[in-house]
Amino acid sequence: MKHILKLAIIGCLQFVLVACNQDLNKGFDTHSPQTFISTDTIEVTKGSTVVLKATLSDESGLFSCKLEYSEWNVLQEIKLNESGFPKMYEFTANMVIPEDAKESWLEIYQKNDGTTFNITQTYHKISLIFYDIYKNSNVVYFYIKVMP
């Protein structure tokens, strides 16, 4: 009887070892879409137009991308599912810099220990968020400095 119990335990352990070596994510896309940006830091003047460009790619296909910056009321969303989920997309956006765009402003940051400190910020952080067909996402930023 003890011999049978030992064989059963050894058999269960072999099953667990084989099951643990299986790739549980096989067949699932867990990779974020990729991007290439030639320049992410731009200096501009108020009222000028800046062209933002990025090359987006994903092997499973791209679903959508969204350019967003609430300070300047920028929201541009492109649904790529209507284009057949391309594997590569050249994103281009023309953005007019508002006449009232801030050249610098004070931001208050708080550390984990509760202490705060001030930073004089000079770059506006414009986000480009994009998704593949499996809702894996990536975010890249364009940093725009408004010159006097």
In a domain, 1, yes or no: no
Query: Containing domain of residue 110, as a range?
Result: 25-147
Mean pLDDT of the residues in the chain: 87
Q: pTM to 2 decimals?
A: 0.76
In a domain, 46, yes or no: yes
- Check if the beta carbon of residue 35 is closer than 8 Å to that of residue 139: no
**Quick one: which H or E segment has residue 2?**
helix 2-20
Give residue 82's identity as a one-letter amino acid code.
E
In a domain, 41, yes or no: yes
In a domain, 4, yes or no: no
Q: Which two tokens stand for residue 135?
A: 């809702």
In a domain, 12, yes or no: no
Q: How many CB atoms lie within 10 A of CB 23?
A: 7
In a domain, 83, yes or no: yes
pLDDT of amino acid 82: 80
Q: Which two tokens stand for residue 97?
A: 């810099």
pLDDT of amino acid 22: 55
Domain with residue 45: its CATH number is 2.60.40.10
In a domain, 13, yes or no: no
Q: Which pLDDT band holds residue 83 (cuts at 50, 70, 90)?
A: confident
**What average pLDDT does the segment 73-102 reach?**
93
Q: Quote the number of domains for the chain.
A: 1
